[in-house]
Structure 1
């Protein structure tokens, strides 16, 4: 499912790598078109997730377009979100439910498996619509980093760094994306009044459940900070909260922070 940034329209084209089914299911999803490989069935739950993602994406487009205008002084180019079912491919490598959501700067697309929302809820204990919205906002935040030149500089630095140093840079990239996701939540609440009681708590819980220390403990391992690539549960929550409280891009400078 390719969720394309279309000037605030949040148009979602659902694409799964493989054969085009040749059936236009657009009426089922309004602005959402679906394709599927022959062996894959697009379910009603998939359609519902695609609708949800399209709304969230549209919100991110409107928020970041205005923030780039007021805080950056440059136009914002919307991202494309590939919402797939099963497996797909990207210039950054293959993607499946096991890879987790990711952003590929080579094609400026974020990739997200439809079943990840189920994993987030049932296996990671981070249910709720806003927890899912936080994940989408986090991946779009990587696109924001790419547009600002931050992601390119960070990746260049990682290529010449040791494994431990590369991991440390990655942590700062991911925590800044969490902070940017917090900015989106701040603006979504301020502009659209879309946040309900408990929504921020859902996002904070999701941030905690996908912290490196939480995931390593959940896998039965002792957390090893030198292997962290995304940050601890506490760090992820803290930076999301920073962005949510501030609403300013400059307050999300994880690279200049002495303590994360």
Structure 2
């Protein structure tokens, strides 16, 4: 990625030396699809009657858990922090523009950098939790060790792969801002585990799609993409598919337990957002 001397976000909260992590939030079903689509339609400036037949809904769910390894101190950490801050700034630019065009105001999240463990509004978190978004405090939590794990354990190297992770978590913040997560949380009460998992998958796939929208619009705004970047993002999306992670960790795949979607699904929805550049294309519930 050509980030160069691009601006850094002022919404970085550096807790390294303290910790980081969180716990999964669930989702729900029933009439959620219609509710979520109406919310998206109203928020992004579309007549709900035009898209009601498509279904739709989304919420925030847990992010892949991978055991992290400590990142060395010094220049490597400083460079990684700057990279995260610059990527976060691009998400702010993109979603501020999207919301403004819809007649709304985007309130960007803080991104908490941590190592080891820290407290969030979603509970105490540890490195093994992996990156996640907590709607309770509207913050993204990231241990930089996860980036090293992506490369060494998941075979998903590259700066754009790392940017995809950040954009995915910010996608959950977008879901929260348009009011879907509150309704999801209410709908999931009383839902069985299999149904809840299936809905969580749709939530995560929408965040992947929003990450694709971010990539499209960032490229239009700043021409940051270099040859191979999109392939890195696609590879990262595939690397964190539930089927691939389950096969790697336990040797078997249990689709009923998926909470993020298969590798193929994650790639599909990331591509859809990338190609469309429009959040209205991210109807994972009707599509």
TM-score (norm 2): 0.76
Contact 1:14 1:84 in 2 (8 A): yes
Identify the residue that residue 244 of structure 1 maps to in structure 2: 274
Identify the residue that residue 148 of structure 2 maps to in structure 1: 118
Matched, 1:57 2:56: no
For the residue of structure 2 that corresponds to 1:83, the secondary structure is strand
Q: Structure 2: 5+ residue runs without aligned partners?
A: 1-6, 20-70
Identify the residue that residue 14 of structure 2 maps to in structure 1: 14
Matched, 1:196 2:196: no
Matched, 1:140 2:170: yes
Task: Report the CA distance between 1:49 and its aligned residue.
Answer: 1.0
The aligned runs of 1:81-230 (5 Å cut-off) are 81-230=111-260
Number of residue pairs matched by the alignment: 229
Contact 1:159 1:166 in 2 (8 A): no
Task: Report the CA distance between 1:89 and its aligned residue.
Answer: 1.4
* Whole-angstrom distance in 1 between the partners of 2:150 and 2:281: 28
* Whole-angstrom distance in 2 between the partners of 1:41 and 1:209: 24
Task: Report the CA distance between 1:227 and its aligned residue.
Answer: 0.1
* Whole-angstrom distance in 1 between the partners of 2:91 and 2:260: 22
Runs of 4+ aligned structure 1 residues displaced above 6 Å come to: none
Q: 1:69 to 1:89 in 2, by over 3 A?
A: same
Using CA pairs below 8 Å that are at least 6 residues apart, which structure has the higher relative contact order?
2
Task: Report the CA distance between 1:242 and its aligned residue.
Answer: 0.2
For the residue of structure 2 that corresponds to 1:219, the secondary structure is helix
Structure 1, 41-50 or 158-167: larger mean CA deviation: 41-50
Task: Report the CA distance between 1:222 and its aligned residue.
Answer: 1.2
Task: Report the CA distance between 1:18 and its aligned residue.
Answer: 4.1
Task: Report the CA distance between 1:41 and its aligned residue.
Answer: 7.5
* Whole-angstrom distance in 2 between the partners of 1:78 and 1:171: 24
Q: 1:139 to 1:245 in 2, by over 3 A?
A: same
Task: Report the CA distance between 1:16 and its aligned residue.
Answer: 3.2
Task: Report the CA distance between 1:17 and its aligned residue.
Answer: 6.1
* Whole-angstrom distance in 2 between the partners of 1:145 and 1:254: 12
Identify the residue that residue 40 of structure 2 maps to in structure 1: none
Q: 1:165 to 1:53 in 2, by over 3 A?
A: same
Identify the residue that residue 66 of structure 1 maps to in structure 2: 97
Contact 1:167 1:226 in 2 (8 A): yes
Contact 1:204 1:240 in 2 (8 A): yes
Q: 1:202 to 1:160 in 2, by over 3 A?
A: same
TM-score (norm 1): 0.84
